[in-house]
Structure 1
Amino acid sequence: MEKRVDETTRQATRQWTLAQPAVSAFVTSVVRDFRDRDDVLQDVAVAVIESFDSYDPNFPFVAWAIGVARNQVGLYLRGRRRDRLVFDDDTVASLAIAIADVAHEESARMEHLDDCIHSMESRARLLLELRYKHDMKPAAIAGRVDMTANAVAKALQRVRDRLRECVDQKHSQAGAS
């Protein structure tokens, strides 16, 4: 018998998958024990999926998910009050805000990176694809593109420098507008 996932669950799962690294960073910054951390992160994932109907799509999902995580971390910390290595509520709130801000910032930078990669000439894109998508070392790339390994390494460095400049420029322009 085939089970179908409803659209709300599909959307919640898709959003969670994108937000999970930032939420995980937040939980990791507060919960020191790795076994507890995994349990808390699972509790957060379940809470995010179960409460997805209360999410307002006019606001960033990552910030909302970190808010859900704050609640789950709070429950965890209340159970550990006697432990001297537990953050207070203000510190946890500050961490949540900081990680949500960083996640939003990095998301924008990744969009700029994608734009910058697409604007590069085809040879530069090929070098990037071989190096980062196919995880090839310069020596292996050299044989594919009729260059020396040293020339490939230098070309990749120039491409990375151009990408960094492009991303920084787009990020500055986006901040100014």
Structure 2
Amino acid sequence: MSETEPDGLGRGDPRLDRFIQCLTESQTSLNAYLVAALGNYNDAGDVLQRTNLVLWRKAREFDPDYDFMPWAVAIARLEVLAFYRDRSRDKHVFSEELAVKMLDTTTNLFPDISPRQEALRSCISELPKTSQHLIKLRYEDGATLLQISEQINRTENAVKFALVRIRKALAKCIRSRIKLQG
């Protein structure tokens, strides 16, 4: 992966152009979310940079047919939790449990994001247990495809395609739920 282009996306790729547009347009909202979550502009700026780096590294996973912000906020949320974990030695920093409660409250400040997150949670709960387990390994635990394949004794490609199918099913479920609400 070069420093200027995300892995799997090259210059002239319309997905890269759309990703850059979404990333750029999201900066103000992401920063507002992080300031609300962290209560400190300097910390929010640091976590925003870490979030942008993760988003850039995961750019090839971005699907231009779906909303960018819920994905970006989910990554920002994980970066906030990592920030609190890293700083947990300082007794003047919130506990991770309190941080999670604050993040849950902060998410409600973004009404256009919250219904999607609620729909996602509901849709995930309807998945078969094996699919839920794959989602947990990949997106909560941050395991690589190789790590998951070794853990569940399947090929990397099988894991990759299973996750693609799961994401498509979740996207369809979320769209359906949002349409019903709306």
Structure having greater relative contact order (Cα 8 Å, sep ≥ 6): 1
Larger Rg: 1
Normalized against structure 2, the TM-score is what?
Answer: 0.47
Higher helix share: 1
